[in-house]
Amino acid sequence: MTYTNNFRHADDIITHLNGIVPGLADPLLRAKYVGFVAVAAVTVYELALKEIFIQFGQKKHKVLGAYVQSQFDRINGRIRIEIIKGTYAGSFGGNYKDRFKKHLDKTTEKHLRSVGRDISSSYENLITWRNDFAHGGKINTTATYQEATQAYEDGKDVLECLAKAMTK
């Protein structure tokens, strides 16, 4: 399975919610959907990240693949960019960490020029919104539903940068 297949779950939820949320009159309920989107997004990000590293390990060696799979069963939402760079990609050597940073910087710059959003910030914001909503019961009153769904799409690019970095 390719890591992008993991996105289908959140994509389906967002497609469904796109027909509901814009018509909601209650701003508090719309804000709760931001949290719901963030939970779905971070869940599929975590699954995709695991898939990227497990496939990497399996391609290198059968034993490494089994080891990586056992290690990534325990990441429990620890998927911030600095953790990906330093702990996960960095564990396989500085070249993978550097490659991820290079791809991320290049894609971020291109995305900033084309649509005016920083994919790293979008990705990190979703994780923050998810943690606030899921662990603190906090409802985000500053981000809109549209911003959350855009952040989700931007965050996919972060994982694409990781996948590119881990395929050599």
Q: State yes or no: pLDDT of 138 exceeds 90.
A: no
- Structure tokens, 87: 């702990």
Across 4-152, where does the E strand assignment appear?
Answer: none
pLDDT given at position 136: 85
- Structure tokens, 168: 């050599």
| Buried/exposed 58-91: b ≥16 CB within 10 Å, e otherwise | eeeeeeebeebeeebeeeeeebebeebbeebbbe
pLDDT given at position 77: 78
User: If pLDDT is split at 50, 70 and 90, which confidence band does 83 have?
Assistant: very high
CA torsion through residues 30, 36, 38, 41, sign: negative
User: What residue spans define the domains of the chain?
Assistant: 3-165
CA torsion through residues 96, 159, 75, 56, sign: negative
pLDDT for 34-57, tens place per residue? 999 999 999 999 999 999 999 999
Residue that wins the pLDDT comparison between 120 and 65: 120
Check: pTM over 0.85? Answer yes or no. yes
User: If pLDDT is split at 50, 70 and 90, which confidence band does 115 have?
Assistant: very high
Q: State yes or no: pLDDT of 72 exceeds 90.
A: no
Q: State yes or no: pLDDT of 76 exceeds 80.
A: no
Average pLDDT, the chain: 94
User: If pLDDT is split at 50, 70 and 90, which confidence band does 168 have?
Assistant: low
> Cα separation of 53 and 29, whole Å?
37
DSSP count for the chain of H helices, then E strands: 7, 0
